Chains A and B, each alone.
Chain A
């Protein structure tokens, strides 16, 4: 279904769109810091499975966002933005990202929040992100030829992959996430 004509983006002028990015960023950063995920110990604690704060934040965001976006989309109020599934690129890129995450302790969003909170070491991570982005651009033509086509499935969703109706996935996964969140709460190591 094409909702592009009524898409809200077209109604916002460019300055308004940029201003909305800034405003949403302020909300995003405010929430990240209040949720504790701008803190070095909490982020490393997630990777060491000693602190579940990161998982609680992410899974509850997925739960609420999934149900909300599903309902908004069903009513034609929003467009979806599904990133392409490319098995090799997702797996290799994902593992490389994870290794970098463990080294810097901050991920791209939480690192910006960490800087705002006063963790100046995040500046080194952010500088590295800029350098790494350029490095990727240098390799991007080769990667697009040799790696990205491997297992390229396009905009694939779990309902399509499993041939299970989307509503079943949304409400079923929602129930699973509620159970997992409840277990995280009771099993929280700290």
Chain B
């Protein structure tokens, strides 16, 4: 327990979680009023994938169904996720919670200090999340917050499946 207490990335939330949640709710209202957009993170990665694909294999990338429907371009969503990195840096820096490390202590306690297994696992997780988010139509922010608060049936169904799928994999990894 003590080793966790001194790790800046493993402390409890700096601000009360319900206060943060309430402010996120206000943020969704503001994005709708100001930019006519809702918060959602996952499509930014698809935009990057499309931009890279268009640079490396333009004809093939443009032939793919998803990129035909949604032409990759520097857009609101990509700017949003770029801002998230900067905003989280400001928050961690102002709160003395910058971690600056490759391995989370909880991972090390379970799997040891090798870096590559963690990176491979996180990469595989990213592949699955992107595929799942595109198929489901959103991620924990797009469906989980923006979609649920508009009472979308698909968003509630998706977010329930996010957590069911997550539990089904997290328990064997960390608790069995």
- Chain A residues packing against B (C-beta within 8 Å): 7-9, 12, 17-42, 44, 46-49, 53, 56-69, 72, 77-87, 89-122, 124-141, 143-144, 147-148, 153, 155-161, 166, 169-170, 173, 181, 185, 190
Which residues of chain B are near A91, meaning CB under 8 Å? 157-158, 161
Residues of A within 8 A of B52 (CB): 130, 134
Q: Interface code B139-158, partner A: CB below 8 Å = 1, 0 otherwise? A: 11111111111111111111
Determine the distance from Cα of A16 to Cα of B134 in the docked complex, in whole angstroms. Answer: 27
Residue of chain A at shortest CB distance from B67: A137
Q: How far is the CB of B32 from chain A (nearest CB, A)?
A: 4
**Across-interface contacts of A159 in B (CB, < 8 A):** 151
Q: Can you name the residue of chain A whose Cβ is closest to the Cβ of B61?
A: A137
**Chain B residue with minimal CB distance to A120?**
B102
Closest 3 CB pairs of A and B: A25-B83, A98-B165, A128-B126
Give bound CA distance, A36 to B132, whole Å.
24
* Choice from B87, B133, B157 contacting A26 with Cβ under 8 Å: B87
Q: Is the interface of A mostly helix, strand, loop or mixed?
A: helix
The 8 Å CB contact of B90, one of A26, A77, A109, A110, is: A26
Task: Give chain A residues whose Cβ lies under 8 Å from the Cβ of B35.
Answer: 8-9, 12, 17, 20-21, 24
A120 close to B134 (CB less than 8 A):
no
| Bound CA span A156–B150, Å | 10
Residues of A with C-beta under 8 A to B78:
21
